[in-house]
């Protein structure tokens, strides 16, 4: 290979690359740029030779560019910088310029290669948006799967899952079983829509009484379970009685009708060091709820 060819071939290869390429000397003056660089920045390599960024591109952040260039020339470390440039054919483009140092015959030169990352950036943005949508949908689906659609409170499946986690902890817990009295009569007298409204009223009334960490769940039909994490026996009994009294004192409205409601409650308290499981607590709460029914309804039985 002739000397002329060995010198011209590397530049010809660089000139054929689609990526803009630049070469600067140790003073950050332009030595050479390829054709892609000329097209992107609408410059002529002959005119650009020997000039600084601040002279050739006053509208760009030349000081910042030169600062990075000097670090590369002094340290030999590779530097990557992201920049938005205006492509005459495509408009604004996101680019990343990778700069490194080479030493030729004792002289330091900076080589910069510009990569267009606009499509990658846009794909990443779309991916992030899609991921955000999927995460929101997953949260919504999880909420739907755990929610009773009629009343908006926790459903039976979520109740047992949450209760099992709660029982595995060492905290004490109060369990209150609530059953709406004479619910069939409400449906028969006022219709099933009125019955649905009565169930929603029970949940709304209970939520006004219980604490922020407590939960109410619809177990089935007109029966609800309230879990009171960390509540001692006195607190559990007190909350249960307040729920009973609030339901009895606040009839539900349906159309022009004011429908009086009462509820029977079975109350159980569980200390954290006790071994009884949640199903056993429900059994005890049910027994006490049935005792309230047998004793005349509209009462909370705790023992």
Which positions are annotated as active-site residues? Answer: 222
CA distances to 158, 168, 228, 240, 249 from 277, rounded to whole Å, are: 16, 9, 15, 21, 34
Place of tokens 């006195």: 234
Place of tokens 């910042």: 64
Evaluate whether 259 touches 194 at the Cβ level (below 8 Å).
yes
- Interatomic CA distance for residues 245 and 241, integer angstroms: 6
Structure tokens, 218: 């619809």
Phi/psi at 214 (5° precision): -80, 160
Evaluate whether 57 touches 41 at the Cβ level (below 8 Å).
yes
Q: How far, in whole angstroms, is CA 2 from its chain's centroid?
A: 64
Pairing type for strands 107-116 and 21-24 reads: antiparallel
- Interatomic CA distance for residues 219 and 155, integer angstroms: 7
- Interatomic CA distance for residues 110 and 27, integer angstroms: 10
b/e map of 7-18 (b: 16 or more CB within 10 Å)?
A: eeeeeeebbeee
Let me know the angle formed at the C-alpha of 128 by 127 and 133, rounded to the nearest 5 degrees.
95
- Interatomic CA distance for residues 225 and 63, integer angstroms: 68
| CA-based R_g, the chain, Å | 38
The total of other beta-carbon atoms located within 10 Å of residue 111's CB is: 17
């Amino acid at each position: 290979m002739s000397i002329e060819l060995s010198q011209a071939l590397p530049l010809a290869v660089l000139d054929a690359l689609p990526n803009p390429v630049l070469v600067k000397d140790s003073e950050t003056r332009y030595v050479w740029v390829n054709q892609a660089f000329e097209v992107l920045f609408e410059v002529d390599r002959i005119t650009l030779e020997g000039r600084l960024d601040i002279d050739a591109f006053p509208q760009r952040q030349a000081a910042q560019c030169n600062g990075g260039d000097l670090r590369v020339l002094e340290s030999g470390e590779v530097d990557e910088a992201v920049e938005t440039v205006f492509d005459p054919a495509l408009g604004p483009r996101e680019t990343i310029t990778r700069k490194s140092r080479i030493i030729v015959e004792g002289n330091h030169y900076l080589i910069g290669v510009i990569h267009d990352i606009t499509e990658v950036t846009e794909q990443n943005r779309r991916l992030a948006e899609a991921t955000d949508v999927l995460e929101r949908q997953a949260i919504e689906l999880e909420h739907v799967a755990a929610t009773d659609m009629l009343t908006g409170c926790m459903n039976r499946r979520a109740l047992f899952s949450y209760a099992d986690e709660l029982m595995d902890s060492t905290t004490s817990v109060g369990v209150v079983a609530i059953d709406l009295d004479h619910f069939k009569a409400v449906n028969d007298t006022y219709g099933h829509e009125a019955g649905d409204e009565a169930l929603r009223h029970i949940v709304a009334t209970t939520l006004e009484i219980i604490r922020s960490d407590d939960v109410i769940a619809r177990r089935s039909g007109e029966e609800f379970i309230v879990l009171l994490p960390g509540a001692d026996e006195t607190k559990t009994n007190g909350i249960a009685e307040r729920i009973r009294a609030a339901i009895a004192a606040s009839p539900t409205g349906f159309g022009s009708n004011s429908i009086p409601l009462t509820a029977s409650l079975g109350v159980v308290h569980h200390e954290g060091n006790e071994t009884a499981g949640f199903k056993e607590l429900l059994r005890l709460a049910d027994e006490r709820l049935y005792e309230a029914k047998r004793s005349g309804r509209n009462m909370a039985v705790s023992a």
